[in-house]
Amino acid sequence: MSLPSGPHAGALRPRGGGLSARTADIGVTAAVTLLVVVWTLLTMQYASEPLNRTVTGWALIAVGCGALYFRRRAPVAVAVVTLAVCVVYYPLSVYDGPLMVTFALALYTAAAEGRFTAAVALGVVTLIAVGFGEARQHDGNRQIDDMSLFMLAGWLVSLVAVGRAQWTRSAYLGEVEQRALAAEREQEARAEQSATEERLRIARELHDVLGHSISLINVQSGAVLHKLSKNPEPAAALSAAEEALAAIKATSKDALRELRSTLGALRKPDETATTSPTSGLDRLDELLARARSTGIEVRLRTEGERRPLPPPVDLAAYRIVQESLTNVTRHARATGAVVTVDYTDERAVRVRIDDDGEGAPEGSPAGSGIRGMAERARAFGGELTARNTAEGFGVSARLPIEGTE
């Protein structure tokens, strides 16, 4: 596990509904100050010293206790100050107050805030200073015996060790929190990406459905208007109008069916979607019949043994043929087109649409319809090519089957 370090390592604490850091610092400082003051007042009943020493001692107590408020902002500096205060206070004052508690708390805080090296160094300096001072005393004047010195060493080690453990725990919880936040952000990003992809899919489906159907309706109505503009016999005019209206009715009915099927994805889970057959290559006859109603001779050719395809691939192949025929009726000025479905490759299905129209101007960029077809093919790991041919224009797509549900 990688643990953070640096000036703000201690800030990686779990955020909860407890007291703020400032309130906690004030509370701890007040509690330690109360302890030191009350204890010192009690010891003053059993000893006395000159007034100037007493005033100096209380000033040192104020400095040592007051510094604890800043122990998390500047842990090493506070530990140094409290240690210095203790070094001056105990030789100066005859009152054996618990001012050492301030240094103990500051040393623990330094370790708990990630200043492990500084905390160890201060603990070692303290132990060496106390041992050196006691060594200079005569045997009868020593304040701390060897056992007490050993216990002091254990006390300092325990403070640093507990502080280090607290820092490790805080750092671990902070890292867990950061990972949880990162996972939440990643989940939100994935959900947003999925929603965006779904919107694009629906937009592409609507473009294919509406673009194809409206284009056919436009061509069919334009053709009958052209016939009627030549003032044919009433019987011939009526027959042409009936034929065009029947084709328009069939085209619009199929468009509404596919539109309901596409928009069914937007329904709420508790809503019942209108059931309708999903478009696929088995509906090519209907698609080609609608294209023929515009006056273009469209033929279907199948290579290999026809077999069922995964629904996503089946729909993508159908949409590519649909968009290609839409382009033929709108732009190609063609008289005929051939749709070829090739099943000879066991790992993929191929569709080709060739027309005898004018083709695309050389150097012109691909239109949105061709880009949409290419995106469909790439979504399955396939490829699509669209280019001019010797007879007109051709679109060829390969859609892999393996790994597609």
Structure confidence by residue, pLDDT tens digits, 112-122: 888 888 888 88
128 part of a folded domain: yes
11 part of a folded domain: no
Structural domain harbouring 320: 281-400
Handedness of CA 218, 219, 222, 228 (dihedral sign): negative
pLDDT tens sequence across 156-208? 888 888 888 888 888 888 888 888 888 888 888 888 887 787 777 777 777 77
Same domain for 123 and 37: yes
pLDDT for 359 beyond 90: no
Catalogue the long-range contacts made by 182-187 (C-beta closer than 8 Å, 24 or more residues apart). none
28 part of a folded domain: yes
Same domain for 242 and 288: no
Same domain for 366 and 338: yes
13 part of a folded domain: no
pLDDT at 384: 94
Same domain for 242 and 165: no
Same domain for 303 and 375: yes
104 part of a folded domain: yes
191 part of a folded domain: no
Same domain for 245 and 367: no
User: Which residue is it, tokens 């996972």?
Assistant: 183
Same domain for 355 and 249: no
Could you tell me the pTM of the whole model? 0.47
Spatial distance between the Cα atoms of 322 and 258, rounded to a whole number of angstroms: 12
Helix (H) or strand (E) holding 340: strand 336-342
> By three-state DSSP, how is residue 19 classified?
coil
User: Which residue is it, tokens 């054996």?
Assistant: 96
Strand pairing category for 348-355 and 383-388: unpaired
Tally of domains within the chain? 3
pLDDT at 296: 87
237 part of a folded domain: yes
Same domain for 161 and 125: yes
pLDDT tens sequence across 199-214? 777 777 777 767 667 7
Number of H helices, E strands in the chain: 10, 5
Same domain for 158 and 116: yes
Going by C-alpha positions, the residue among 331, 344, 347, 325 that lies closest to residue 395 is 325
Same domain for 358 and 300: yes
3-state helix, strand, coil in the chain (%, to 5): 65, 10, 25
Same domain for 331 and 242: no
pLDDT tens sequence across 96-108? 788 889 888 999 8
Same domain for 389 and 293: yes
137 part of a folded domain: no
Going by C-alpha positions, the residue among 36, 150, 45, 163 that lies closest to residue 100 is 36
